[in-house]
Structure 1
Amino acid sequence: MKGNTVSEKYTYIILILTLISIISCIILKIFLFYGFVVSIVVASCLFIKSGFSSTELFTMIKKGLCDCKSLFILMALIGAMISIWMASGVVPTMLYYGLKYMQGRNFLFSAFVLTSIVSIFMGTAFGTISSIGIALLGLAKIFQIPDYILLGAIISGSFIADKTSPISSLFNLTLETVKISYKEALMSILKTLLPTYFVSGLLYYFIGKNYSLVLVNSNIDNFTSAISRNFVVSPLLLLLPLSIIIMSFWGMTMVKSVFLALIGGIIVSIGLQKANFIHIIVAVFNGYRINTNSVELNAILVSGGMMSMIEVLLIIGGAITLSTIFQETGLIIPIIKRITLRIKSREELILKTGFISSALTAISDQSVGIILPGKLLRDKYREFGIENTTLARTIADTGTIIAPLIPWNVNSLFIFITTGIPTMSYAPYTVLCYLSPMITFIFAYLHKFQNEKQATDSLYN
């Protein structure tokens, strides 16, 4: 990494144009990758004017992308696996038992719990919202729950995927950037996730008590009957997604775990669900569709396969390229140093990490909110003797989780397009997205008080 040889004038031009290009794409609903391309081209031209050669810049970009090659492979496999989980009956089984569980219960609380569980196995907030989330919203009128309140609970549950699921693209990007294993990250994240989840669930339970618990069973019965008519439903199918978590804890790389689960899903699809081999191969690459007598089921069981991940891969590739040249040319170093220069404590470092990650997510994209603080603050955490697991947890609890609260963010736009409910309506009820950063900061300061108490006790003893 070179020292910053870019003039202050060029630095401001690059950063301002980067913000304008990315935010313009989000507001105008233009493919976000184009915003990154414009930013990369402008930045590269000004870096060359500042003394960097095109060969140097190409080498930086190549190194940054090669360092994340396993992530790109994983994203493609995840796209294929979501299709296979639908074809093999895993997702239908989740829907079947989840909806059966909800009968006669507090619907709002149950929706939060169900979407949180499904999201971990699906590995995507988008996929959870656009599948079981849409199904639950369709039942909102039955329970006399306003759809924007229910959507808040669904989003809270769904976005747990982005911060904990072993097959989440964003969580794996966090692991790849911070250079830690899934097991290490999860053990750290659970320290703040469990109290956040408990408090969120408690709030949804009490809010849900204000609405009718009398359930008209016909809609759910029709839906679950459609599932059982078209799929072999068995709790044993849930062992397939569970195997990924088990293999990850055994130390197997995520690429191998997902690949083996994908092969297992193909075998189950053909052997148990009697799917056509050619159709399964097509589903792997082009996505899964089903044609039944249930319009609702047809609308939910849809996925894009490997091809659907191309846009995600391009966006992540653009974010990695931009963050790499910002880092390697030294452009971003003075800004980060200025923010972190006078940090005197662990708690302040965690607070500013959350601020940086959240700000980058707010003005651009979750990927940028992960990559830049993840890469640029590792040395600072080492300086304070803090493990990288805390860095990963702070990013996951702040920048990653607040995305659906920002009206111009791609996550909020996706939710609005999918559900028709604007951000300002559901945002007050996405409890977990608010609590998560609050609790991670509280946890950091409790750690400080605990250390001070231990020091005081040892002094008197």
Structure 2
Amino acid sequence: MTATERGERAIRDPSVADAVIPLVALVVLIGGSLALFGLDALDGPIQVALVLCAMIAALVVLKNGHRWEDVQAAGQRAVSSITSAIFILLAVGALIGTWNLSGTIPTLVYYGIQVLSPTWYYAATALICGIIAMSIGSSWTTAGTIGVGLVGIAAMLGISPGITAGAVISGAYLGDKLSPLSETTVLTAQLVKVNVYEHIKRQAWTSVPAFVIGFVLFLLIGLFWGPAATDVGDTGSELNALGDIYWITPLNLLPLLLLVVLSVRKTPASLALMAAALFAGALGVFTQYPVVRDFVADPGLNPVRAAITAVWQAMATGFSMDSGIADIDQLLSRGGMDSMLLTLWLIIGAVTFGTLLEEFGLIGRLIDPMIRAAKGTGRLFLTVFATAFGLNVVAGDQYIALVMPAKVYRAEFAKRGLAPTNLSRLTADSGTVTSPLVPWNSCGAFMGAVLGVPTLVYLPFCFFNIASPLLSVVYGFTGFRIEKVEPAGSGPAGSGQAGSGPTDSGPTDSGSTDGEPAAT
């Protein structure tokens, strides 16, 4: 065991027991919260468990000689790493509130009920979300906008919101992985030092078959196990109610169009979402003024003050409706920045815990033996998957689950003569795609919050997210679509470096020299 001196304190390398103790605490506390509170555990108990796990990890770090100031600095870096996610979450909360106020979501539901059939609804949902996510490059934006409407339509049609949420997430993550506008796609290519378009081409080898599998399963569920169109309850009263409450017009979809345009123009997600939320609020004042006036419920306010109050309140605490029809009220009474606070609490606890494990070497202490034990290509692929998925579970953040395996395994892939595109595809399949399957992961918490479906309910139906990493691992064991280069150090100077050989397509788009994004 090595030791370095910092002042008068000797810093010790973590032992295997040091690394295992926080993970055992995580299993016990998360399992205990789920056993005691069930699905309600996400309303606070799991957040408490994650904070306690972070404190246990901090105690281990202190025991090894680090100062409390080091722990605080790591916590600050953890929170700063999710600043973008915090603002996106708050913006989505505001957007859902104003889109209900302005009639954008009700209009999507109104038209969707009349167009989409229950027998092929799940498959159509996955396809629609896949196309939109590929166009705008964001699974979060897709789920938080069109996904919310599609889950609402499902509730109106009397079909499963859980299966619909699984279809939304399947499509959203397909588009996210295959879009050059996606920040996680670009980040993965940067980390492994491959051209982003070469990465997307290789990504399609697992993503397209995985989506086809999911699409077929959604079709089969709709055809054989879902309700037939004649079995679905009469939605006439809901449609009439929406038509009576709102002025249903294509103009209500202008906020969605604005969001798509801003996303295609690569406007930062939080700014695009907030702009679409504000635009919807302003539009709703003119197109849905009776709704605005009823929402404020203060006849003494003049029109200007009533409009400002309504939009502000919808962004802050969400929109609410009392139409007398339960399905309508449940669909529309949502949103607001404050609706995301539980999710933010969850993410902060999870990412702080994960950052302590990563920065102080606790995760690395467990990964090194795994690398040495992975003798063949198949076992190496399985180890990368286990690492990335495990980090999604214990670190609670997809970026940690992407960055760390890419850094740790890059040299090993080069040493074994495996092209870096193999690693970029595998880390994306294992880290990005599985992140919404973990309730306390930032992605799982986000999807559960915006779609209104608990993570453990939609998880079995995220067919794409399950099939994609499995196909990647199968490719490793079978050798299918595994590209080889000259092993590092086996040829002339520089010839065996990662990224050399036929799959090297030049520098990454970011121009980064060390594999890290300039700004993410």
Q: Work out whether the TM-score is over 0.5.
A: yes
Paired residues for 1:128-207 under 5 Å = 132-133=150-151, 136-137=154-155, 139-140=157-158, 150=160, 153-160=163-170, 163=173, 192-207=206-221
Report the AA paired with residue 76 of structure 1.
L
Alignment of structure 1 residues 180-329 onto 2, 5 Å: 192-210=206-224, 213-215=228-230, 219-274=234-289, 275=292, 276-329=307-360
* Counterpart code for 1:15: L
Report the Cα distance in structure 2 between the residues aligned to 1:402 and 1:438, rounded to whole angstroms.
Answer: 14
Deviation per CA, 1:351-407, whole angstroms, max 9, x where unpaired?
43333344455xx57x62624422321213543463686366314665235448xxx
Distance in 2 (CA, whole Å) between partners of 1:179 and 1:82 is 33
Number of the residue aligned with 2:361: 330
- Identify unmatched segments of 5+ residues in structure 1: 141-146
Matched with 1:378 is 406
Matched with 1:438 is 470
Tell me which amino acid in the other structure corresponds to 2:314: A
Q: Return closer, same or farther for 1:252/1:349 CA change in 2, 3 Å cut-off.
A: farther
1:27 corresponds to 2:35? yes
Cα RMSD (Å):
4.4
Contact 1:319 1:368 in 2 (8 A): yes
What is the identity, as a one-letter code, of the residue corresponding to 1:353?
V
From the superposition, tell whether residues 135 and 27 of structure 1 become closer, same or farther in structure 2 (CA, over 3 Å). farther
CA deviation string 1:283-306 (max 9, x = no partner):
111111112243321121121411
Q: Say which structure is richer in helix.
A: 1
1:114 maps to what in 2?
A: 125
Structural mapping, 1:62-81, within 5 Å: 62-81=76-95
In structure 2, give the amino acid aligned to 1:394: D
Counterparts in 2 of 1:99 and 1:389: CA distance versus 1, 3 Å: farther
Contact 1:89 1:231 in 2 (8 A): yes
TM-score by length of 1: 0.75
TM-aligned CA distance change 1:67 to 1:22, over 3 Å: same
Cα deviation 1:333-355 (Å, max 9, x = unaligned): 12122223455787765543333
1:97 aligned onto 2:97: no
CA offset at residue 125 of structure 1? 6.2
2-side partners of 1:128 and 1:113: how far apart?
A: 12
For 1:60, the equivalent position in structure 2 comes to: 74
What's the counterpart of residue 16 of structure 1?
24
CA distance in 2, matches of 1:413, 1:282: 23
Helix, strand or coil at the partner of 2:235: helix
Based on CA coordinates, which of the two structures has the bigger radius of gyration? 2
CA distance in 2 between partners of 1:309 and 1:204 (Å): 30
Tell me, in whole angstroms, the C-alpha distance in 2 between the residues paired with 1:214 and 1:251: 40
Q: CA separation of 1:450/1:360 partners in 2, compared to 1, >3 Å: closer, same or farther?
A: closer
Q: Secondary structure at the match of 1:209?
A: helix
Residues 401 and 76 of structure 1: CA distance in aligned 2, closer, same or farther (over 3 Å): closer
Q: 2:125 touches 2:171 (CA, 8 Å); kept in 1?
A: no
Provide closer, same or farther for how the CA distance between residues 451 and 127 of structure 1 changes in structure 2, counting only shifts above 3 A.
Answer: closer
Name the structure 2 match of 1:143.
none
Structure 1 counterpart of 2:98? 84
Identity of aligned residues (%): 17
Check conservation: 1:18, 1:36, Cα contact below 8 A: yes
Task: Give 1:224 shift.
Answer: 1.8
Contact 1:323 1:368 in 2 (8 A): yes
CA distance in structure 1 between the partners assigned to 2:332 and 2:352 by the alignment: 34
Aligned match of 1:449: 481
TM (normalized to structure 2)? 0.68
| Structure-1 separation of matches of 2:317 and 2:249 | 27
The Cα of 1:312 is off from its aligned counterpart by: 0.9
Letter aligned with residue 222 of structure 2: G
Letter in 1 for 2:469: P
Question: Could you list the runs of 5+ residues in structure 2 that have no partner in the other structure?
Answer: 5-10, 134-138, 293-306, 414-418, 486-501, 503-520
Which amino acid is 2:420 matched to? I
